[in-house]
Structure 1
């Protein structure tokens, strides 16, 4: 039986049981969408749901590109005025009334016994939802962290909030030399972000009149511009050609030497290593799942959380589901993909709890709003198999000012106002998907 949950909100103190009907690991994008839709479903009472999330602040990570790329303004003072509306909220403020927020860090999983351990103790569950996101592994590129943590050195990254502000500063002050942008091997969160900052920087340097003095270079571990979908890959290849940006495919960054301003690359097609000079470097780190999942029976291929690509259910533990970036399904690791996964997961978890057949199926939908410079955006939408899957019209590979404004102003509002209430379903917008 579920133990009673006692809440003393007036004093900022909450005491929780050690057992939940539904335990959600992670309170980021995936965890927030999962627990809010579970709480709104009507089958599980909010107090039967517990979310394990140690972070005090919830960040809207797509804003990092808008910070570094100047979409929110081209000086830090202007951007910081928009932090509340576009960037962050206190974690507590985004929680559904009655759902238990447990600020503990999960350190190990024991699905055979329906339990897991946190930094403060052991917890048991009836159902488990794995949604902790992924890990940024700057440490896997030798010298990267040292260069990034030096505020005066021109190595930047939009994949962390502090580094995004550094990106804005150095991009604004860069006037001449070699500017190199790098994309690591997939899977990574927001596979289009390494190009977003590339095009936003090119556009800004053109606006400042310095573009002619800057040698732009794009290095990617992939063999095409946009692996998730050929249609958008072709459109982006055409765009970078028009902008005069050379691309170097099948290159993996091994090390950064801040003293000599050199990068060591491995060409994966030849196996050879070679060094490249830079004056400005934007890098994206390799990314992995969390160790507590990798070292557990729930890990699948590549260490990602094992899940059926359609049902989001674990193949070995039917009371365990996974959504978001940590899920080992062949879809893009984007918020849009997460929002499409969550209604499927909730439907299947509820049906399983009622002893019914699991039928809801995730199509592999993903979306990447690609900033292309000049206040325009290409809204890439696709699904399993690399097929395009547009919501609005078939020519979404043509950059649009309307999509730019949607990304800049509408999407952050939706994220902080509808997602926490369980009222946002991705490409289905506010209309809850129906499954038969």
Structure 2
């Protein structure tokens, strides 16, 4: 293989072989960087094999896999770190050498003119003229005391709580969204209780006064330099970072789903525009089969999949058509609900509505034209694929961390933001905190959890700005108001390990059975508590627990 020098410190190459590792050693290269993901094509030599061969020859090796055309700022930062720390000269390779050349140029941006970098790449046979705007020296990053990534409920509530305590703290919230949604309300939109418009406001209207709203997407974290990287090529510097990026609904992980959402009887309350369609389908369905699904954890609001089902059944029961509808709940998990205390009350409704409960049954494909759903059904350790026809299908998509989060130095093994479960501080970067759906905590991912987490993070951020250790902790509280029928709710409240953490005395609201007062709380009290309380920094029933306080 002919290696193509870009400068005195690096050469690039198409995919190399084990023999090429020996040749690189003979030519004086001291390290190898692989920029190619494993399994990109049949017969491709895996990175582990090249790593082992490099070690045998005494060469350093780093794997920075890049999907073609999708290099991120985090990838560029990783390449820059590798070029700075690996012994040189270095040989980098991918399928053709283009990705390695691109990352080299981006990593060198600011250390040479764009024309020089483009010229060196061209001399090696790679045209990177399209990178010219990204190769110009970046403007100095704007600096803030606190940068919050994510303008959802967790990020905004944290900013509001910080400013309530110290209005002089400079805060940037990074989020490109134009609208802000009260997502817990979408279940009731799907049941015809709320209008969809009641769950949406302009993002500008909920942004706390005193923060700088950076309306750009985040592309990466560089915690070693205290920087947040932005999609416009810029960056923000911080003293303390709060990562509240949320999670991503991975619709694409269910084969055929994206092509049929919103038609062919397929809906989901997990999308603002589809929740009204759920209500329409329920009203139009008078017989046949209705399937409701729940994917593997983690998902946000783990009770929402069955809430949609119970409210639909209640509407069918009141319309007198429930006996004509075959209702089934396909749950990928092994239990109906993760906290056993609440299961008996829910099972009463499963039986009352005549629901076919199928556990360890995961939706894997949808054929909308045929109206057929395919499930991976596990029983006694064996998994088989089954097809079921449907008239209505309510789908909850798998949910994952954002790719740029999973690739970042802040990620835990599962791709979410790594944090201490109590203090919500990152275990390796003491000036970084994480919360909300994007954090790798074991609590239920609910708005109620974010409401409790935000004040804890706020006071710990202020302590960090003063160089102090965290002063507050979080007990894993989450709340799941399980709407079992219109007018009644099983109010599940629990923390880490499934410990029951009821807000109200049992004589007022017994969370283990359905109550009308819990419904009143969800329908009438929680929306204003969200819009006027949580997002404004008012910590009603959410004061942070001090670590040094008596339990």
Give the TM-score taking structure 2 as reference length.
0.71
Deviation at 1:434, TM superposition (A): 4.8
Tell me the distance in 2 between the aligned counterparts of 1:211 and 1:270: 33
Residue pairs, 1:210-249, within 5 angstroms: 210-227=321-338, 229-249=339-359
Structure 2 partner of 1:4: none
Which secondary structure does the structure 2 equivalent of 1:125 belong to? strand
Residue pairs, 1:348-359, within 5 angstroms: 348-359=460-471
Determine if contact 2:472/2:545 at 8 Å carries over to the other structure.
no
CA deviations over 1:62-90 (Å, ceiling 9, x no partner): 11111111222xxxxxx25xx2xx31111
Greater RCO (CA < 8 Å, at least 6 residues apart)? 1
Instruction: Pick the aligned partner of 2:305 from 188, 194, 213.
Output: 194
Residue pairs, 1:119-198, within 5 angstroms: 119-120=231-232, 121-150=234-263, 153-198=264-309
Structure 1 partner of 2:488: 376
Structure 2 partner of 1:96: 208
Determine if contact 1:343/1:433 at 8 Å carries over to the other structure.
no
Tell me the distance in 2 between the aligned counterparts of 1:404 and 1:206: 19
CA deviations over 1:200-247 (Å, ceiling 9, x no partner): 0000001111111111111101111111x1101232123212322120
Structure 1 stretches of 4+ moved >4 Å: 431-435
Structure 2 partner of 1:57: 179
Residue pairs, 1:21-40, within 5 angstroms: 21-40=145-164
Structure 1 partner of 2:29: none
Tell me the distance in 2 between the aligned counterparts of 1:278 and 1:254: 15
Deviation at 1:393, TM superposition (A): 2.9
Instruction: Pick the aligned partner of 2:377 from 262, 267, 270.
Output: 267
Structure 1 partner of 2:474: 362
Deviation at 1:124, TM superposition (A): 1.2
Structure 2 partner of 1:41: 165
Determine if contact 1:225/1:234 at 8 Å carries over to the other structure.
no
Deviation at 1:433, TM superposition (A): 4.8
Structure 1 partner of 2:366: 256
Deviates more, 1:262-271 or 1:97-106: 262-271
Determine if contact 1:225/1:233 at 8 Å carries over to the other structure.
yes
Segments of structure 1 that go 5 or more residues without pairing to the other structure are: 1-15, 73-78
Deviation at 1:432, TM superposition (A): 5.8
Residue 444 (structure 2) pairs with residue 320 (structure 1): no
Residue pairs, 1:325-336, within 5 angstroms: 325-336=437-448
Which secondary structure does the structure 1 equivalent of 2:414 belong to? helix
Residue pairs, 1:388-399, within 5 angstroms: 388-394=500-506, 395-399=510-514
Deviates more, 1:101-110 or 1:416-425: 416-425
Structure 2 partner of 1:70: 192
> In 2 relative to 1, CA 235–361 (structure 1 residues): closer, same or farther, beyond 3 Å?
same
CA-atom RMSD in angstroms: 1.6
Deviates more, 1:345-354 or 1:58-67: 345-354
Determine if contact 1:70/1:200 at 8 Å carries over to the other structure.
no
Deviation at 1:166, TM superposition (A): 1.2
Tell me the distance in 2 between the aligned counterparts of 1:18 and 1:348: 23
Tell me the distance in 1 between the aligned counterparts of 2:544 and 2:218: 31
Q: Which has the larger radius of gyration?
A: 2
Deviation at 1:356, TM superposition (A): 2.4
Tell me the distance in 2 between the aligned counterparts of 1:374 and 1:189: 22
Tell me the distance in 2 between the aligned counterparts of 1:144 and 1:275: 15
Determine if contact 1:34/1:346 at 8 Å carries over to the other structure.
yes
Instruction: Pick the aligned partner of 1:403 from 518, 527, 534.
Output: 518
Deviates more, 1:57-66 or 1:236-245: 236-245
Deviation at 1:17, TM superposition (A): 6.9
Tell me the distance in 2 between the aligned counterparts of 1:225 and 1:311: 30
Structure 2 partner of 1:347: 459
Determine if contact 1:189/1:332 at 8 Å carries over to the other structure.
yes
CA deviations over 1:388-431 (Å, ceiling 9, x no partner): 11111342121111111211121111111112220035xx25x5
Deviates more, 1:267-276 or 1:383-392: 267-276
Which secondary structure does the structure 2 equivalent of 1:337 belong to? helix
Determine if contact 2:345/2:490 at 8 Å carries over to the other structure.
no
Residue 315 (structure 2) pairs with residue 204 (structure 1): yes
Structure 2 partner of 1:109: 221
Deviates more, 1:131-140 or 1:269-278: 269-278
Structure 1 partner of 2:400: 288
